[in-house]
């Protein structure tokens, strides 16, 4: 239930546009939020949407995915096995800055008299474009046109095109292009202030710096994590006006200053290339060479080629990944088609930005748009992001799963510390080591093991990538299944059922509980899938099996144990209420006094002691409801209805991971109003700043969740057990249409849902079989399209 | 069950003696332990048993009860309501030092050739006496006789008598009497190293220092807690040998050096007086005047008066408080009478030392013998110490309860933070503010509220001090009852019973559970007692009632609610096992694999992650078993047997609070072997260094528990409901006798338990009625003594 209604879009900030996110005036009030919204990223390099002019700036974050500093975690009271090493993404060298002076007066937005202001995130070109007409105090009209991109094609490259024209006068113009690794001038937002290690000393230690003509190179290292960062800038100035330039470079700063005698109407066009390289092993010299090579290539190819490669990349992306809405009128407070379309694309675009080139890393909870959650990777990658990526960009999905495989060694060590067999994935991490300093709402969320395996299965089913399964997936399955087998036990007091005690489910308002139903259900999936896969491999690919047993010491008796544990998994059911209890004790807790909790007391975790929260029936985010989505085949429709009716009013939505899931389940059970309400919250999580914290970064999980709301919630996609099936739900309005693509085992399917019919079209590939409601639909090259009627329950 | 047997007394360290604890050789191996064992204290000022000569020293702790520095607690991950201010007892100015040089060679114990070494804690004189005969490298025989005391009578005063005689030669002798506030030379053991605030900078900031003749005064302050400490020393040297002296004083050190030309056989007798004053409000000047006044008085009265006042104090103490054992032969590994008697007195003596002059403070878990637990006060004061003090030194008991009353304001604020009504006492504190940085094993132990009220009732019943109840106790009862009423709720799912969820009982291996039976039972007592007292006051002392309602806003409907909550308290009972479950989920957990847990893995908390411990049936310390002792009238004998049989094997005894309780209950249910085993562990907790951590301070709770083992366990004292009753248990052997005194409403009763009879004697007072087994015994001045036969069950 929405216990606090904050979904009021900031008025006039972002006018409706299908492909652009537009800002038509400079609002200091929304400056920090806009820095997030207009952030550019390719999943490796992220730059917040700060202005080139270097001011005003609230949080000048520039991030490299996986580039972190570490620090010893200090506990008020320590205990055995607590995570030892904190990891925090570093605010790296800021290379965006191009300061502009006209008549030696700086261009400073908050005080500038603007005749025009237009900033737009163009989701087709993948650029952040700005056009400003500034009237200087001397009455000179200065037209500033800038375009910024972080290249999706060239992982280490970003560029800015900055064009200045003094329209009506002569004027001395200075462009000072800078980069700085010294963030002491800005709010030190890159490190969690709770950690004393964070507060003292500089994070980036200078290693090398030099310049050559209009190129400057800075190289820094971190003290504890021993990582190396190289950042370099290069420039081209094109103008008919006379100019000179001067380059400087110090330990922490690089600067190329262009002094131009501007003539009226003559454009001055500066191109700035920025290159970033990082490494945990290569020496500074090597990193400097890499950034220089990236710059060399950029300069030689030129800006137009960079633009067009960006557009091509996005064209490919949207061709597969776009999700189109049409025909929606103002329905129950939901915004119009254009605005909805814009929000959908904005969400998908940011998911792409967060993940595209996240090669060898995970996807931080905020992507690379802010430092919140310290740049850590959580379970939401697998549960909220991967479905979209698996079905539209399986290559990216594979990279992310591969990253989990690569941290298996650390996960094995962590399991050992927890007295478990197999492997236990860290609740939050960058390096692969557990970085959660709160075991109750962190390490105890063992379900992350099952979540990753859930995503693995979805990936294998959708792609048919058995090779990945054999080489990497199966080993992860073995180790996660082992962890469950050792975590739980066959309980005499529960009729010999397999019980899992002392865990925390997705709902962090009920921690360290026994038999969290979500966890038990997901563990069962994990165990069943592991047993199935291992038996199949043993039978069908004995060589692979031999390698696996050799590598993991697997004995076949273990597989039998997994099977037995899965078959006998304890899943409680409350006959009295006809629902699944969230855990053994949940239903016996006192109901939270929602009636006497004023809106400003949400989120509860910031206003109540954990002990107060933990002893009540109150839910932070979908838990049983999430299980009903992920494992929808395990619940009857009536059960879903009863469970939703019970749990939804208890759910605060204090986590941004909640609304999208509640929307999907509400749609499935026919609570269409509720579904629309939640969908709206999920869709506008960032654009309407629902949680009031967009300034700290976008909510990547909710963004991925939006796609799920459309595909699973409204189009009724169901993919359990390796078949592709649809049971479309109601669209909002008779004229409403919803279209999107899915990749399935090499084919590309287009799905179009209308009021009373669903149309399935094979776009690529030879054939594809799917289920529509209870019918099989077979698409072939000969008959690539099939339209089926949608059966609806009587309107509720 | 004793899962690790470490009860092996260090051989030869402490020979048997009824009134002394004796060390006959210097053993570096036991040096740190001996510093603890030989510590002197009066409950205000404590000095570890380091040698006067200043070396060797492992932990030179000197402590003033309640003199602490504070620091901000840093959390790996913080949440609302977490304790903010850490408090740590300060290692204050060390004034013990008297360095001895003969022929300019320092006397350094580890390298000295000793012809005699005798150090003894004399529990009759209350002094630490030492006699050493040292042969210098030059063959000179130096007799050193020292005596140290921390005055029980004069709260701020300590003294050392140091006598040196060179027996067989002339020699230049130097005595350098020193004091120092600079502990940088020693292991910085005074601050918890986990706290970064602790590691940097000095704790004691100099405020004043000066000297006058052979007196030196140092005054220091703490930076954050703003407390002031004054320490001063003064001297008298008596000798026929020629000597001169020189006094120095710096910011952190004071020094008076005596240079003596010793003649053979001529004694040199130095008396050193040490005075300490502290304040949270008075300025340095004032504190300096106070220490000087204390010294003035000491010097004018002289040392003999100090000795005799100490002896008189102890004579009074032992007259009431001694517990005599006789006639025990070697029984089942238990030591002989003398050794047992010694251990008993040692324990009682240390309880006295910890509490005697703890006026306006609590009693730290280690007394003032070490810095472990940071000098904090816990629930063990009320549950483990107060019974002994209530029955033997009710004045001390009253001071301690008064201290709880004085922190009621902070406890009210804490309750508010926890969203509770009334007051919540801090789990650990010095200042009154919660200092526990771990809510699960800390703040969640709400039972401390009921524990304090349990002690209050025992105090009121034993003393009849209704005035204390009216003025202080009732207000605490109101606020604690309110806390329970708001913490729990009437649960429909438990038949309308009053349930208390999200708590931790005494057993810290099962945290944040629902309906911990100990907690529910104790809360019920708290609620019932509050309702009874308030109704009685309303009826019988309406003016007092009026004051109370005025002060607390009490409404009579609240009292009805308490009554209803108490009457309907949920107490689970497991029909299948015939036992009370420790909490709602305990019995459904997996049993700890004790069989595969090697001894070195105990205590478990140092070797397993909390999550591993929490999900198992494993107990740190008596929980249900403690409830069966404290509320023994709530359980039938058969229930006690079944519960003990179930819980005892699961109890690791990883806490020193466990053995004494297990001994008492084992004695009650007739498991005499088990009772003796546990009694031995409790009795020798410190002397045999059972936990291997005596170096960090004595286990005051277990020491108080020893008295309970004798009085409640073996003599069968029962005092529930305001009547004094005895149901004596078996003594160890036919000739064994156990005697002790109890104060009861102004009278003094002597109890003597033999094999087959109990003798009750009225020592002071006019009359006293008690129950022996099921009979009433009335003692009067005319017939002050009565002997009754003991009914025994058939030998098991």
Question: What's the pLDDT tens digit per position in A85-115?
Answer: 999 999 999 999 999 999 999 999 999 999 9
- Calculate how close chain B gets to A745, using CA atoms only, in Å: 42
* Per-residue confidence band for A191, with pLDDT thresholds at 50, 70 and 90: very low
Distances (CA, A) of A358 to A66, A67, A433: 9, 12, 18
Tokens standing for A481? 């299944």
Of A40, A67, A314, A23, nearest in space to A159 by CA: A40
Query: Number of Cβ pairs closer than 8 Å across A and B?
Result: 164
DSSP-assigned letter for residue B263: P
Percentage, residues of chain B above pLDDT 90: 88
Only one residue has tokens 């699944």, namely A580
A605:B442 CB<8 A: no
Pairing outcome for strands B204-212 and B171-180: unpaired
Q: Exactly one of A52, A339, A374, A508 is catalytic; which is it? A: A508
A443 vs B contacts (CB less than 8 Å): 609, 611
pLDDT exceeds 90 at position B507? yes
Give the pLDDT confidence score for residue A186 in this predicted structure: 47
Beta carbons within 10 angstroms of residue A576's beta carbon:
7
- Calculate how close chain A gets to B681, using CA atoms only, in Å: 26
Q: Above 0.90 for ipTM, yes or no?
A: yes
Residue A428: phi, psi to the nearest 5? -145, 140
Contact A216, A247 (CB under 8 A): yes
* Per-residue confidence band for B238, with pLDDT thresholds at 50, 70 and 90: very high
Closest Cβ–Cβ partner in B514, B585, B612 for A418: B612
Only one residue has tokens 């969230």, namely A582
B80:A609 CB<8 A: yes
Question: What is the tens place of the pLDDT at every residue in B290-303?
Answer: 999 999 999 999 99
pLDDT exceeds 60 at position A795? no
Closest Cβ–Cβ partner in A438, A585, A588 for B76: A438
Give the pLDDT confidence score for residue B653 in this predicted structure: 87
- Calculate how close chain B gets to A580, using CA atoms only, in Å: 15
Closest-CA residue of B relative to A81 is B609
Closest-CA residue of A relative to B414 is A609
Over residues A34-44, the mean pLDDT reads 97
* Per-residue confidence band for A793, with pLDDT thresholds at 50, 70 and 90: low
Question: What is the tens place of the pLDDT at every residue in A674-713?
Answer: 998 899 899 999 998 988 899 999 999 999 999 999 999 9
A587:B418 CB<8 A: no
* Per-residue confidence band for B183, with pLDDT thresholds at 50, 70 and 90: confident
Tokens standing for B655? 């806490």
pLDDT exceeds 90 at position B9? no
Give the pLDDT confidence score for residue B57 in this predicted structure: 87
∠A601-A581-A585 over CA atoms, to 5°? 70
B501:A615 CB<8 A: yes
- Calculate how close chain A gets to B74, using CA atoms only, in Å: 6
What is chain B's alpha carbon radius of gyration, rounded to the nearest angstrom?
27
Contact A237, A273 (CB under 8 A): no
Contact A569, A524 (CB under 8 A): yes
Closest-CA residue of B relative to A441 is B77
Name the region of B43 (left: φ>0; alpha: ψ -120 to 50; beta: rest): left
Q: Where are the beta strands (DSSP E) in A472-586?
A: 489-491, 497-499
Over residues B581-591, the mean pLDDT reads 97
What is chain A's alpha carbon radius of gyration, rounded to the nearest angstrom?
27
Question: What is the tens place of the pLDDT at every residue in A392-420?
Answer: 999 999 999 999 999 999 999 999 999 99
All residues at 6 or more sequence positions from A774 whose CB lies less than 8 Å from its CB, including other chains: none
H/E stretch holding B363 reads none
B512:A605 CB<8 A: no
Peptide bond preceding A433 in cis form (omega within 30 of 0): no
* Per-residue confidence band for A55, with pLDDT thresholds at 50, 70 and 90: confident
∠A730-A733-A737 over CA atoms, to 5°? 75
> Testing the interface with A: which of B446, B499, B609, B620 to mutate, by most A Cβ within 10 A?
B609
Give the pLDDT confidence score for residue B615 in this predicted structure: 97
CA A344 – CA A341 distance, rounded (Å): 5
pLDDT exceeds 60 at position A10? no
CA A129 – CA A148 distance, rounded (Å): 6
pLDDT exceeds 60 at position A7? no
B444 vs A contacts (CB less than 8 Å): 611
∠A694-A362-A438 over CA atoms, to 5°? 70
All residues at 6 or more sequence positions from A300 whose CB lies less than 8 Å from its CB, including other chains: none
B83:A77 CB<8 A: no
Over residues B574-590, the mean pLDDT reads 97
* Per-residue confidence band for A27, with pLDDT thresholds at 50, 70 and 90: confident
H/E stretch holding A267 reads strand A267-279
Over residues A226-241, the mean pLDDT reads 98
- Calculate how close chain A gets to B452, using CA atoms only, in Å: 21
A590 vs B contacts (CB less than 8 Å): 489, 491, 499, 501
A83 vs B contacts (CB less than 8 Å): 76
Only one residue has tokens 């009226």, namely A264
All residues at 6 or more sequence positions from A505 whose CB lies less than 8 Å from its CB, including other chains: A445, A447, A513, A516, A517, A518, A519, A582, A583, A623
Give the pLDDT confidence score for residue B730 in this predicted structure: 73
> Mean pLDDT for chain B?
93
> Testing the interface with B: which of A198, A421, A609 to mutate, by most B Cβ within 10 A?
A609
> Testing the interface with B: which of A73, A77, A192, A586 to mutate, by most B Cβ within 10 A?
A77
Closest Cβ–Cβ partner in B417, B436, B514 for A609: B417
pLDDT exceeds 70 at position A5? no
Pairing outcome for strands B747-753 and B757-764: antiparallel
Question: What is the tens place of the pLDDT at every residue in A280-335?
Answer: 999 999 999 999 999 999 999 999 999 999 999 999 999 999 999 988 776 555 56
Of B31, B98, B93, B21, nearest in space to B61 by CA: B93
Tokens standing for A267? 């454009």
Q: Exactly one of B508, B525, B558, B671 is catalytic; which is it? A: B508
Give the pLDDT confidence score for residue B602 in this predicted structure: 93
B512:A614 CB<8 A: yes
Over residues B556-574, the mean pLDDT reads 98
Give the pLDDT confidence score for residue B691 in this predicted structure: 87
Does residue B546 or residue B184 have the better pLDDT?
B546
pLDDT exceeds 60 at position A794? no
Classified as helix, coil or strand, B521 is helix
The 3-class secondary structure across B535-601, one letter per residue, is HHHHHHCHHHHHHHHHHHCCCHHHHHHHHHHHHCECCCCECCCCECCCCCCHHHCEECCHHHCCHHH
Least confident among A178-187, A460-469, A573-582, B426-435: A178-187
Question: What is the tens place of the pLDDT at every residue in B300-343?
Answer: 999 999 999 999 999 999 999 999 998 877 655 556 788 899 99
Question: What is the tens place of the pLDDT at every residue in B187-233?
Answer: 444 444 444 444 446 899 999 999 999 999 999 999 999 999 999 99
Beta carbons within 10 angstroms of residue A268's beta carbon:
23
CA A508 – CA A516 distance, rounded (Å): 12
Give the pLDDT confidence score for residue A196 in this predicted structure: 41
pLDDT exceeds 80 at position B754? yes
CA B278 – CA B64 distance, rounded (Å): 8
Query: In sequence order, what are the beta bridge partners of B149?
Result: B159
- Calculate how close chain B gets to A509, using CA atoms only, in Å: 12
- Calculate how close chain B gets to A77, using CA atoms only, in Å: 5
Give the pLDDT confidence score for residue B16 in this predicted structure: 84
Over residues B392-417, the mean pLDDT reads 98
Only one residue has tokens 């966890």, namely A519
CA B223 – CA B674 distance, rounded (Å): 51
Query: In sequence order, what are the beta bridge partners of B289?
Result: none
Closest-CA residue of A relative to B78 is A194
pTM: 0.94
Contact A290, A284 (CB under 8 A): no
The question of whether B508 is a catalytic residue gets the answer yes
Query: In sequence order, what are the beta bridge partners of B4?
Result: none
Peptide bond preceding A711 in cis form (omega within 30 of 0): no
Give the pLDDT confidence score for residue B7 in this predicted structure: 47
Give the pLDDT confidence score for residue B470 in this predicted structure: 98
Give the pLDDT confidence score for residue A333 in this predicted structure: 56
* Per-residue confidence band for A4, with pLDDT thresholds at 50, 70 and 90: low
CA A743 – CA B668 distance, rounded (Å): 74
CA A538 – CA A532 distance, rounded (Å): 10
Following DSSP, what letter does each residue of A96-134 receive, concatenated? --EEEEETTEE--GGGSEEEEEEEEEETTTTEEEEEEEE
Give the pLDDT confidence score for residue B490 in this predicted structure: 98
Question: What is the tens place of the pLDDT at every residue in B691-718?
Answer: 889 999 999 999 999 999 999 999 999 9
B501 vs A contacts (CB less than 8 Å): 585, 588-590, 615
∠B1-B4-B5 over CA atoms, to 5°? 100
Tokens standing for A452? 């990753």
Give the pLDDT confidence score for residue B331 in this predicted structure: 56
* Per-residue confidence band for A13, with pLDDT thresholds at 50, 70 and 90: low
B440 vs A contacts (CB less than 8 Å): 440
Give the pLDDT confidence score for residue B11 in this predicted structure: 44
- Helix and strand counts by DSSP (H, E) for chain A: 21, 32
A499 vs B contacts (CB less than 8 Å): 588, 590
All residues at 6 or more sequence positions from B140 whose CB lies less than 8 Å from its CB, including other chains: B102, B103, B166, B167, B168, B169, B171
H/E stretch holding B402 reads helix B394-406
A195 vs B contacts (CB less than 8 Å): 74
Distance of CA B127 to the CA centre of its chain: 19
* Per-residue confidence band for A751, with pLDDT thresholds at 50, 70 and 90: very high
Percentage, residues of chain A above pLDDT 90: 88
B418:A80 CB<8 A: no
């Amino acid at each position: 239930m929405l216990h606090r209604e904050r979904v009021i879009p900031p008025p006039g900030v972002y006018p409706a546009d299908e492909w652009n996110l537009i800002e038509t005036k400079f609002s200091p009030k929304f400056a920090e939020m806009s820095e997030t919204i207009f952030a550019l990223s390719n999943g490796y390099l992220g730059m917040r949407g700060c202005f080139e002019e270097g001011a005003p700036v609230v949080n000048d974050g520039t991030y490299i995915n996986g580039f972190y500093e570490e620090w010893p975690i200090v506990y008020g009271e320590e205990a055995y096995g607590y995570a030892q090493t904190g990891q925090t993404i570093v605010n790296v060298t800021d290379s965006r800055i191009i300061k502009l002076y006209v008549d030696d007066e700086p261009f400073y937005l908050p005080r500038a008299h603007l005749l025009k202001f237009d900033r737009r995130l163009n989701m087709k070109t993948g650029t952040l474009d700005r056009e400003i007409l500034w009237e200087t105090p001397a009455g000179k009209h200065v037209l500033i046109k800038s375009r910024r991109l972080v290249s999706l094609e060239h992982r280490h490259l970003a560029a800015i095109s900055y064009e200045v024209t003094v329209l009506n006068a002569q004027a001395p113009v200075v462009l000072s292009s800078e980069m700085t690794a010294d963030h002491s001038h800005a709010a030190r937002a890159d490190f969690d202030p709770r950690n004393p290690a964070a507060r003292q000393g500089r994070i980036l230690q200078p290693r090398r710096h030099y310049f050559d003509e209009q190129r400057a190179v800075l190289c820094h290292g971190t003290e504890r994590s021993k990582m190396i960062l190289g950042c370099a800038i290069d420039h081209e100035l094109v103008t008919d006006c006379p100019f000179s330039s001067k380059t400087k470079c110090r330990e922490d700063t690089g600067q190329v200053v262009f002094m131009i005698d501007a003539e009226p109407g003559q454009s001055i066009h500066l191109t700035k290339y920025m290159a970033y390289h990082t490494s945990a092993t290569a020496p500074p010299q090597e990193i400097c060479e890499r950034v220089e090579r990236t710059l060399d290539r950029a300069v030689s190819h030129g800006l137009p080629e960079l633009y067009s490669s960006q557009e091509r990349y996005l064209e490919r992306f949207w061709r597969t990944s776009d999700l189109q809405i049409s025909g929606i009128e103002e329905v129950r407070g939901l915004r119009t088609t254009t605005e909805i379309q814009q929000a959908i694309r904005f969400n998908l675009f940011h998911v792409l930005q967060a993940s595209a080139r996240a090669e060898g890393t995970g996807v931080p909870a905020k992507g690379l748009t802010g430092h919140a959650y310290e740049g850590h990777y959580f379970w939401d990658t697998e549960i909220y992001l991967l479905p979209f990526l698996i079905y539209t960009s399986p290559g990216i999905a594979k990279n992310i799963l591969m990253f989990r495989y690569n941290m298996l060694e650390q996960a094995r060590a962590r399991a050992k510390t927890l007295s478990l067999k197999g492997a236990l994935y860290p609740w939050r991490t960058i390096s692969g080591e557990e970085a959660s300093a709160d075991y109750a709402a962190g390490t105890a969320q063992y379900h992350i093991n099952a979540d990753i395996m859930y995503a693995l299965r979805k990936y294998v089913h959708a792609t048919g990538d058995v090779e990945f399964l054999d080489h990497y997936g199966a080993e992860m399955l073995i180790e996660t299944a082992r962890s469950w087998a050792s975590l739980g036990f066959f309980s005499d007091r529960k009729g010999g059922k397999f019980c899992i005690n002392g865990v925390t489910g997705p709902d962090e308002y009920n921690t360290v509980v026994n038999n969290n139903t979500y966890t038990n259900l997901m563990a069962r999936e994990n165990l069943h899938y592991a047993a199935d896969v291992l038996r199949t491999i043993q039978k069908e690919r004995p060589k692979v099996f031999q390698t696996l047993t050799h590598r993991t010491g697997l004995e076949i008796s273990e597989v039998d144990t997994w099977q037995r544990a899965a078959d006998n998994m304890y899943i409680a059911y409350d006959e009295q209420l006809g629902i699944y209890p969230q855990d053994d004790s949940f239903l016996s807790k006192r109901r939270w006094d929602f009636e006497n909790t004023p809106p400003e007391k949400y989120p509860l975790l910031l206003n109540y002691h954990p002990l107060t929260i933990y002893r009540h029936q109150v839910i932070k985010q979908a838990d049983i409801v999430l299980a009903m989505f992920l494992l929808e085949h395990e619940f009857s429709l009536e059960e879903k209805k009863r469970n939703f009716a019970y749990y939804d009013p208890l759910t605060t939505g204090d986590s941004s991971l909640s609304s999208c899931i509640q929307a999907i389940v509400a749609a499935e059970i026919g609570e269409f109003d509720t579904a629309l309400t939640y969908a709206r919250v999920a869709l506008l999580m960032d654009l309407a700043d629902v949680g009031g914290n967009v300034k700290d970064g976008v909510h990547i999980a909710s963004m991925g969740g939006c796609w799920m709301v459309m595909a699973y919630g409204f189009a009724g996609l169901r993919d359990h057990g390796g078949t592709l099936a649809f049971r479309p739900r109601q669209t909002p309005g008779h004229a409403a249409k919803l279209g999107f693509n899915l990749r399935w085992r090499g084919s590309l399917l287009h799905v179009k849902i209308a009021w009373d019919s669903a149309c399935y079209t094979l776009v690529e590939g030879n054939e594809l079989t799917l289920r529509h409601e209870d019918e099989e639909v077979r698409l072939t090259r000969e008959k690539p399209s099939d339209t089926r009627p949608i059966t609806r329950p009587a309107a509720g």
